[in-house]
Chains A and B, each alone.
Chain A
Amino acid sequence: MSSDIDAVHWRSEEVDETIVLTLDVAGQRANALSAEVLAEFDRILAQIESRPLNGVIIRSAKSNSFIVGADVNEFQKISDMAQAVSLAGAGQAVFNRLARLPYPSVALIHGHCLGGGLELALACTYRIAREDDATRLGLPEVRLGIHPGFAGTVRLPPLIGDLAALDLILSGRTVSAHQARALGLVDETVPERHLLRAAHAFVARHPRQRRAAWWKRVPAWSPLRKPVTRLLQRQLRKKVNPDHYPAPYRALELWRRGASQEEEARSLSELMVGRTSRNLVSIFLLGEKLKRQGRRQPHGVAHVHVVGAGIMGGDIAIWAASRGFRVSLQDQRPEALAGTIKKAYGFYRKKLKKPVAIQDAMDRLMPDLDGNGLGRADLVIEAIVEKAATKCELLRDIERRVRPETLLATNTSSIPLEVLGEALRDPSRLVGLHFFNPVAQMQLVEIVRGRQTSDSSVERARAFTVAIDRMPLDVRSSPGFLVNRVLMPYLIEAMMLSQEGVAIEEIDDAATRFGMPMGPVLLADTVGLDICLSVAEMLSGPLGIPVPERLRETVGRGDLGKKSGKGFYAYDKSGKPRRRPVRGHSDLPVTERLILRMLNEAVACVREGVVDNLDAVDAGMVFGTGFAPYLGGPMRYAEALGEVGISSSLRRLAQEYGPRFEPDEAWGRSDLFTRDAGSQA
Chain B
Amino acid sequence: MSDAKVYVIDGARTPFLKARGQANEFSAGDLAVAAARPLLARAPFAPDHIDEIIVGCVIPAPDEANIARIIGLRLGCGKTVPAFTVQRNCASGLQALATARERIAQGRSHLVLAGGTEAMSHAPIQWNTAMVGWLSAVMRARNPIARLRAIGGFRLSHLVPVYTLLLGLTDPLVKLNMGQTAEIVAHRFDISRAEQDAYALSSHQRLAAAYDTGQMRGEVEPLYDRRGRIYQEDTGLRRDSDMEQLARLRPVFDSKYGSVTSGNSSQVTDGAAMLVLASEAAVQRYNLPVLGEILGDEWAGVDPAQMGLGPVHAVSKLLGRFGLAMRDIQQMELNEAFAAQVLACQAAWASPEYARDELGLDAPPGPMDPSRLNIDGGAVATGHPVGASGARLVLHLLRSLRRHGGGLGVATLCIGGGQGGAMLVRVQGEPK
Is B256's CB within 8 Å of the partner chain A? Answer: no
CB distance from B330 to the nearest CB of A (A): 28
- Given A368-B38, A372-B41, A372-B42, decide whether A342 and B227 contact each other with a Cβ distance below 8 A: yes
Name the CB-closest residue of A to B27.
A359
A363/B75 in contact, CB under 8 A: yes
Digitize B225-238: 1 where CB-to-A-CB distance is under 8 Å, 0 elsewhere: 11111101000000
Given contacts A363-B33, A367-B224, A375-B44, contact A335 B230 (CB under 8 A): yes
- Let me know if B74 and A363 touch, CB within 8 A: yes
A373 and B47 CA atoms in complex are apart in Å by 13
Contacts of A326 in B (CB 8 A): 76
The verdict on A341 contacting chain B, using a C-beta distance below 8 Å, is yes
Within 8 A of B (CB), among A328-385: 328, 334-335, 337-339, 341-342, 345, 359-360, 362-364, 366-370, 372-373, 375-376
Contacts of A341 in B (CB 8 A): 224-226, 228
The reply to whether B41 and A338 contact each other, CB–CB distance below 8 Å, is no
Q: Does B222 contact A (CB under 8 A)?
A: yes
Does B158 sit at the interface, judged by CB under 8 A?
Answer: no
With known contacts A337-B224, A342-B226, A369-B222, A364–B76 Cβ distance under 8 A: yes
Q: Is the interface of A mostly helix, strand, loop or mixed?
A: helix
* Beyond known contacts A334-B232, A338-B224, A341-B228: 8 more, CB 8 A cutoff: A342-B228, A363-B33, A366-B38, A368-B38, A368-B41, A373-B41, A376-B40, A376-B41
CA distance A368 to B38 in the complex (A): 8
Residues of B192-251 contacting chain A, CB below 8 A? 218, 222, 224-230, 232
**Can you list 24 A-B contacts (CB < 8 A)?**
A328-B41, A337-B224, A337-B230, A338-B224, A338-B229, A338-B230, A339-B228, A341-B224, A342-B226, A342-B227, A342-B228, A360-B74, A362-B226, A363-B74, A363-B75, A366-B38, A369-B222, A373-B41, A373-B42, A375-B41, A375-B43, A375-B44, A376-B41, A376-B42
Residues in B with CB closer than 8 Å to A366 are: 37-38, 41
CA distance A438 to B75 in the complex (A): 29
Docked complex Cα distance between A372 and B222 (Å):
13
Hey, which chain A residues are within 8 Å of B226, CB to CB?
A: 341-342, 345, 362
The A/B interface has a contact count, at CB < 8 Å, of 56
B230 surroundings in chain A (CB, below 8 A): 334-335, 337-338
Residues of A within 8 A of B (CB): 326, 328, 334-335, 337-339, 341-342, 345, 359-360, 362-364, 366-370, 372-373, 375-376
Bound CA–CA A376/B228 (angstroms)? 26
- Which residues 38-56 in B have Cβ within 8 Å of A in the complex? 38, 40-44, 46
Interfacial residues of chain B within 10-65, with CB under 8 A of chain A in the complex? 33, 37-38, 40-44, 46
Known interface pairs A328-B41, A375-B44; A338-B228 also in contact (CB < 8 Å): yes
- Asked if A359 and B74 make an inter-chain contact with CB atoms under 8 angstroms apart, the answer reads yes
**Which chain B positions have C-beta within 8 A of A334?**
222, 224, 230, 232
| Nearest Cβ on chain B to A60's Cβ, whole angstroms | 29
The docked-state distance in angstroms from the alpha carbon of A342 to that of B44 is 30
Residues of A within 8 Å of B42, CB to CB, are 372-373, 375-376
Q: Could you tell me the distance in whole angstroms from the C-beta of B288 to the nearest C-beta in chain A? A: 12
Q: Which residues of A contact B218 (CB under 8 A)?
A: 370
Which 5 A/B pairs are nearest by Cβ-Cβ distance? A342-B228, A345-B226, A372-B42, A372-B41, A341-B224
Contact status B228-A372, CB under 8 Å: no
Chain B residue with the shortest CB-CB distance to A376: B41
Give chain B nearest CB distance to A502 CB in angstroms.
Answer: 41
Q: Report the separation of the CA atoms of residues A360 and B75 in the bound assembly, to the nearest whole angstrom.
A: 9
Chain A, residue nearest B218 (CB): A370
A341 to B38, CA, bound (A): 16
Q: Given the complex of chains A and B, what is the CA–CA distance between A337 and B222 in angstroms?
A: 10
* CA of A143 to CA of B69, assembled, Å: 45
Please name the residue on chain B nearest to A349 by beta carbon.
B226
Within the complex, the shortest CB–CB distance from A355 to chain B, in Å, comes to 10
Q: A373's closest neighbor in chain B, by CB?
A: B41
Q: Mark B335-352, 1 if CB is under 8 A from A, else 0.
A: 000000000000000000
Q: In the complex, what distance in Å separates the CA atom of A593 from the CA atom of B224?
A: 49
User: In the complex, A360 Cα to B226 Cα: how many Å?
Assistant: 14
| Closest residue on chain A to residue B42 by CB atoms | A372
